[in-house]
Structure 1
Amino acid sequence: MMLQRPSADSSGPGFTPLVVVELASDTKEEAIAWLLSRIRDQQHNGGDGDDFLSMAECQYIIKHELDTLRAKDETHVPGYTQVKLYPGKSIIRRLQSKGILIQFFPLHEKEELKRLSFSWYKKMKLSFQPLDDIRHYYGEGQALYFGFLEYFTIALVPMALIGVPYYLFDWEDYDKYVVFAVFNLIWCTVILELWKRCSASLAYSWGTLSRKKAFEEPRPGFHGVLGFNPVTGREEPLYPNAKRQLRIYLVSLPFVLLCLYLSLYVMMIYFQMEGWALSVYDEEPTFWTGILLFIPSIIYAVVIEIMNLIYRYAAEFLTEWENHRLESSYQNHLVLKVLVFNFFNCFASLFYIAFVMQDMVLLRQSLATLLITSQILNQFMEAFLPYWLQRRRNKKMIHKVRKRRTLEDKELPLAEQVRLEAEMSTYLGTFDDYLELFLLFGYVSLFSCVYPLAAVLVVLNNVTEVYSDAFKMCHVFKRPFSDPAANIGVWQLAFEAMSVIAVVTNFALIGMSPQVKAYFPESETQLILWTVAIEHGLLAFKFILTFLIPDVPKHIQIKLAHLEFESLEALKKKVK
């Protein structure tokens, strides 16, 4: 089933498929007829100018219509008495969960995709990404991610340039990293504030800066008793907030705490392995026992990635079970669960080494091993493995299509494209991409003063990430539905929270430096008091800096005010 632009004759040359809906091969006719009738009930007559909406926007509208299909008086899906329905239940979600609806996805546009691929990743160049073209083809959500990835990479260059000489000429003199830590404090604050301005400029040029979310539609997975929204007066599912809160605090919260305890237990096992490897090296310091020193960190890094992956699935299940009404609320709770666990899982051992063991050599070694191992695993899982699997799938599908065309000479190229894209991997959104950048930002902002090459490694990772992500978006994944957005959402708060933790962490490392301790030879209490006082002062300065740097550039503020003035004037004339 293909949903297309309205046209006088959909079988003629004006036929432009937008979204493919794949049903199970044995789907009953009455169920198909019922689904089509429900879809058509939601459509409205009207023109469709080719230049008014982009293809991505048209596809988003279709997805919105499908997501808002709700059961009314039906007790079951026609032809499937066992598939129960009740008023307010999402029809699409129900069909997917029962295997009647396999998938639905927007089709790629071959010529546009070729042009985008060439300007995006097919030629090596020292220039910015074509964000406007990415936005036109994939939507604002994906374009803002790639914009942030590019911005983050450029912002890391000063850190990398300063870090290389520090690493080369001050290998063991950790005291001199105090200056690097001070630079770190300023850097992590300024780049996030400047990104807000950059993000606002992009969103304004795309027309989404003033996008309001006050009246979000209920998310497709939300279920409840069908009733009327007292604000909009629309019929939609209703679910008691008290019941949701009980699920959060009596089930989700204890589960997260249990996972944190298990993560702490695994960390203690890692330190036992580290101690064993060190004792072996002390007894017989050889080349092989020297290599053995890195094995516990490598194993721990792999275990961390596995634990993060398992926890991610559990967090998604729990957040879905909590039954949040709005997509924004769902995302906020999911991000909070995942970030708390990932932060603890990835950084707890580093904090323990830095502030309990106070072993800067081991801290540098552990940070380097965790960073390098995680990047190698991520590149393998995100770039090489999907590409290899997709190549195998494409070869099989092309063989099937060619064989079918020898038997049926009337096979249409469009049908071939649909079959090929149906076999492609599904893009799961920018969540994992932002999470990876969040963890990399944490490694750099928290402890790069101890291991200055961290910024260099992250820059190299991000450069390859741009090209691998671009390739995957164009040739490995199905085309995702566009995601209208004005900013990077809750991730901005996540990065800002990390920057606050970075200020405290870096100043604590400064306070532990022998250079600083030399100023307080007699009283450790005075050292702690002065460290805390100055750290609070720096936090205050950080928040003042946040206040002084406007989130939206002045010229855009003026343009928005002018647009609002013109809207009010037009409204006055209409009233008169």
Structure 2
Amino acid sequence: MASSGLFFKDGKKRIDYILVYKKSSPQVEKRSTFEKNLRAEGLMLEREPAVTNSDIMFVKIHCPWETLCKYAERMNIRMPFSLQRNMRELKSWLPRNPMKLDKEALPDLEETDCYTAPFSRARIHHFTINNKDSFFSNSTRSRIVHHMLQRTKYEDGKSKMGINRLLNNGTYEAAFPPHEGSHKSRHPIKTHGAQNHRHLLYERWARWGMWYKYQPLDLIRRYFGEKIGLYFAWLGWYTGMLIPAALVGLFVFLYGLFTMDSSQVSKEICEANETIMCPMCERNCTLQKLNESCIYAKVTHLFDNGGTVFFAIFMAIWATVFLEFWKRRRAVLTYDWDLIDWEDEEEELRPQFEAKYSQVERVNPITGKPEPFQPFPDKLSRLMVSVSGIFFMISLVLTAVFAVVVYRLVAMEQFASFKWYFIKKYWQFATSGTGVCINFMIIMSLNVVYEKVAYLLTDLEHPRTESEWENSFALKMFLFQFVNLNSSIFYIAFFLGRFAGRPGKYNKLFNRWRLEECHPSGCLIDLCLQMGVIMVLKQMWNNFMELGYPLLQNWWSRRKMKRGGQLMEHKISLPQWEKDWNLQPMNLHGLMDEYLEMVLQFGFTTIFVAAFPLAPLLALLNNIIEIRLDAYKFVTQWRRPMPARATDIGIWYGILEGIGVLAVITNAFVIAITSDYIPRFVYAYKYGPCTDQGYRQEKCLKGYVNSSLSVFDLSELGMGYSGYCRYRDYRAPPWSSTPYEFTLQFWHVLAARLAFIIVFEVSHGKERFLSISLKPELIFYSSPINK
């Protein structure tokens, strides 16, 4: 048993925690004092040199029964004292759900339902202690040891304590709980059972073949702790809720696909072989016939059709339902995982905070002890500098977007005069496509800069505790990446083509480049292209960085050991603690990167979903991969993180609510301003052949294209042309008494757009007001979702 790397040399004492240090480290006295104090607190320590590196030393820590009981009582850890007697499991006549895990083959998957109470040594006989070695789970044992490591001194002085400070000053290289053995076995799990919980998680959760199965949340929580368990519960819930959104979005897309050829607008554009369009750029663009935009018109109809408004309303309701139902799901998990009465322990101060404000103290009203204090003027000044830095970085994003706009204006003329016929013919698509790719590269480059700046600004604020630091850092990273990811999309949705002017009086940037205008079929196709490319490429890049990068790092570590002959051609088997040391540590941000990726995706899925109904489907497919990818990473590629407790997803829920509100506003504007839904609606009811009959059939849009195009006298361009050309706008013809002035139809369309925005926002506001959710604290049942 000792050879497995899970026990001390005697094969009896289980290893609960591992400390790693370098023999060459000069912090010998601090380390010696720290370990001496750990022994005095009741822990047992044993040193073991590394097999692959003579400079590395491992300190194995075991927490004996008496110490476990003492600290379990101090920490108010709830432990089982009697079985619950209920009838939750009823035999069903329905066939077995293939998405549920095979519980017959996994007898260790579900915990026995028990009543729990805070552990007390005086009432120890009331608790169900069948085996002292297994009464406290491995994650609970690790959590108790971590608690002790955080509060043990290494020098004289009230602030000279804690493993975090020793890691920061180089006394130790790492501190982590060990994995419970290998995640693989030579024998099938169904015939020989699971070797350990890690093996069980790999076989029934982390393997790609389990992509369609529910997640074993109870086992995830037992192995990794409630904080990580809640993340995977939220991710699974979000992914499950994406299924109806993806199906409705796919239906809207297929509706557009099947009605593409019968669309009256597409027909009129494809058959307009005599309608001449005005040049769309200054120098190299030639006159084109409207029917040359046939493909663009058909593709635009895929995303801008009769189902668009319905889908936007559906997604606004979906976002609200998703958040409300997550509250209920979280309440169920909080009850099932015995977290209702749990309160987070008071956090210790950050070493940086103590070092900065050690000379200024005041009495903590909770603990009654003096502690460092940050004066309000200092806090305010630092906050102002931080806010200024945030605004500067946001202005940098806008500058990058402006640079892409300038590129599009320059490239527009170059592609229009390109030698290759295909590019010359589809110069608008080439301009948009290359602009999207350049924008994506800028986004990914700026993300690296943003992370460093967010670190700098957060450290400048000197947050008091680690959770305050994490919340401040997470909020900055979200703001930076949200603006970085969506600023170009906002430009295309609401500004592209809005200020281009008209033929003969175009607006120019720096009096040199004519502003870009929309295609005859509208700007929605540019918005779809921007969203689709960025969403697909970013998800592919994130997946590579999450799994591919750790795999490469671990492979390189093994390769270096083999090249150095350190494993003697595989004849030496490394102990578990050294295998864990060679794995990658969980990133410094904990779960922040995981939440940030999903929250940004949620924004992408909801904010402009009216323009890109396939976004929920792409998000669903990505998340199915993401769950197994994260599971594989946690189980096989990362060291075991310290099992932490939590009752919710923290600051991210408030951010999700803010995104939900923003999504309603933007989708209303996308439908009213970016798409052609409102102009078509006004034409059908006011100007079309069905004016007195109502908007009932596609034929009511007959003549819409001609009505939406204004006339311009080509002779006014001074380019040697004669006759008339058409352009997208509602302006009077050159032969009218008020040439090129806005027509009455323009004002009708504008009024309808504003009315639609108001009605959409008010109706959704009422829907949110009337949505009544059950009180989460009243839900005391266990849900089968993701069990």
**TM-score interval, normalised by the smaller of the two chains:** 0.7 to 0.9
Partner of 1:384: 548
Q: CA deviation at 1:139?
A: 0.7
Q: CA deviation at 1:106?
A: 1.2
Partner of 2:472: 333
Partner of 2:15: 17
Partner of 1:73: 156
Partner of 1:78: none
Partner of 2:364: 230
**Distance in 2 of aligned mates of 1:405 and 1:121:** 26
Q: Give the partner amino acid of 1:233.
A: T
State the Cα deviation string for residues 495-537 of structure 1 (Å, max 9, x = none). 1110000011111223224433444944466446534532442
Partner of 1:113: 198
Partner of 2:568: 403
Residues matched between the structures, number: 531
Partner of 1:316: 455
**Distance in 1 of aligned mates of 2:234 and 2:68:** 36
Cα distance change of structure 1 residues 239 and 438 upon mapping to structure 2, 3 Å threshold: same
The answer to whether structure 1 residue 366 and structure 2 residue 530 are counterparts is yes
Give matches, 1:153-552, under 5 Å.
153-170=239-256, 171-173=299-301, 174-176=304-306, 177-213=308-344, 215-219=346-350, 222-223=353-354, 224-225=357-358, 229-233=363-367, 235=369, 237-242=371-376, 245-284=379-418, 286-287=421-422, 293-357=432-496, 359-397=523-561, 402-403=567-568, 416-428=575-587, 429-512=590-673, 513-517=675-679, 518-519=681-682, 521=745, 522-523=747-748, 526-527=751-752, 529-545=754-770, 548-550=772-774, 552=776
Q: CA deviation at 1:55?
A: 1.6
8 A Cα contact 2:610 2:671, kept in partner? no
Q: Give the partner amino acid of 1:324.
A: P
Cα distance change of structure 1 residues 71 and 321 upon mapping to structure 2, 3 Å threshold: farther
Q: CA deviation at 1:58?
A: 2.2
**Distance in 2 of aligned mates of 1:57 and 1:222:** 30
Structure having greater relative contact order (Cα 8 Å, sep ≥ 6): 1
**2:174 aligned residue (103, 112, 117):** 103
Cα distance change of structure 1 residues 208 and 243 upon mapping to structure 2, 3 Å threshold: farther
8 A Cα contact 1:139 1:483, kept in partner? yes
Q: CA deviation at 1:11?
A: 4.8
**Distance in 1 of aligned mates of 2:151 and 2:399:** 45
8 A Cα contact 1:39 1:69, kept in partner? yes
Partner of 1:144: 230
Partner of 1:35: 34
Measured on the aligned residues, the alpha-carbon RMSD in Å equals 2.9
Using the TM superposition, name which of 227-236 and 375-384 deviates more. Answer: 227-236
**Distance in 1 of aligned mates of 2:678 and 2:342:** 50
8 A Cα contact 2:539 2:622, kept in partner? yes
Structure 2: 5+ residue stretches without partners: 1-6, 44-65, 70-131, 182-195, 257-298, 498-522, 687-744, 783-787
Query: Residue 119 of structure 1: SS of its match in structure 2?
Result: helix
Q: Give the partner amino acid of 2:175.
A: F
**Distance in 2 of aligned mates of 1:64 and 1:228:** 25
Cα distance change of structure 1 residues 529 and 291 upon mapping to structure 2, 3 Å threshold: closer
**Distance in 2 of aligned mates of 1:104 and 1:230:** 30
Q: CA deviation at 1:492?
A: 0.8
Give matches, 1:552-563, under 5 Å.
552=776, 554-556=778-780
Q: CA deviation at 1:14?
A: 2.3
Q: CA deviation at 1:98?
A: 3.2
Q: Give the partner amino acid of 1:21.
A: L
8 A Cα contact 2:225 2:645, kept in partner? yes
8 A Cα contact 1:24 1:99, kept in partner? no
**Distance in 1 of aligned mates of 2:641 and 2:422:** 50
State the Cα deviation string for residues 318-369 of structure 1 (Å, max 9, x = none). 3234222233322321222111111111111111111112621211111111
Partner of 2:184: none
Query: Residue 129 of structure 1: SS of its match in structure 2?
Result: coil
Q: Percent identity?
A: 26
Cα distance change of structure 1 residues 464 and 416 upon mapping to structure 2, 3 Å threshold: same
TM-score (norm 1): 0.84
Cα distance change of structure 1 residues 212 and 305 upon mapping to structure 2, 3 Å threshold: same
8 A Cα contact 1:189 1:499, kept in partner? yes
Cα distance change of structure 1 residues 345 and 165 upon mapping to structure 2, 3 Å threshold: same
TM-score (norm 2): 0.63
Cα distance change of structure 1 residues 277 and 153 upon mapping to structure 2, 3 Å threshold: farther
Q: Give the partner amino acid of 2:576.
A: Q
Q: CA deviation at 1:136?
A: 0.5
Query: Residue 780 of structure 2: SS of its match in structure 1?
Result: helix
**Distance in 2 of aligned mates of 1:486 and 1:27:** 39
Q: CA deviation at 1:150?
A: 1.4
**Distance in 2 of aligned mates of 1:325 and 1:72:** 22
Larger helix percent: 1
Q: Give the partner amino acid of 2:166.
A: L
Cα distance change of structure 1 residues 339 and 248 upon mapping to structure 2, 3 Å threshold: farther
Query: Residue 146 of structure 2: SS of its match in structure 1?
Result: helix
**Distance in 2 of aligned mates of 1:483 and 1:493:** 22
**1:132 aligned residue (201, 218, 221):** 218
Q: Give the partner amino acid of 2:201.
A: L
Partner of 1:564: none
Query: Residue 167 of structure 2: SS of its match in structure 1?
Result: helix
Query: Residue 649 of structure 2: SS of its match in structure 1?
Result: coil
Partner of 1:82: none
Using the TM superposition, name which of 499-508 and 354-363 deviates more. Answer: 354-363
Cα distance change of structure 1 residues 69 and 254 upon mapping to structure 2, 3 Å threshold: farther
Q: Give the partner amino acid of 1:430.
A: L
Q: CA deviation at 1:218?
A: 3.4
Query: Residue 23 of structure 1: SS of its match in structure 2?
Result: strand
**Distance in 2 of aligned mates of 1:204 and 1:10:** 37
Query: Residue 175 of structure 2: SS of its match in structure 1?
Result: strand
Cα distance change of structure 1 residues 72 and 124 upon mapping to structure 2, 3 Å threshold: closer
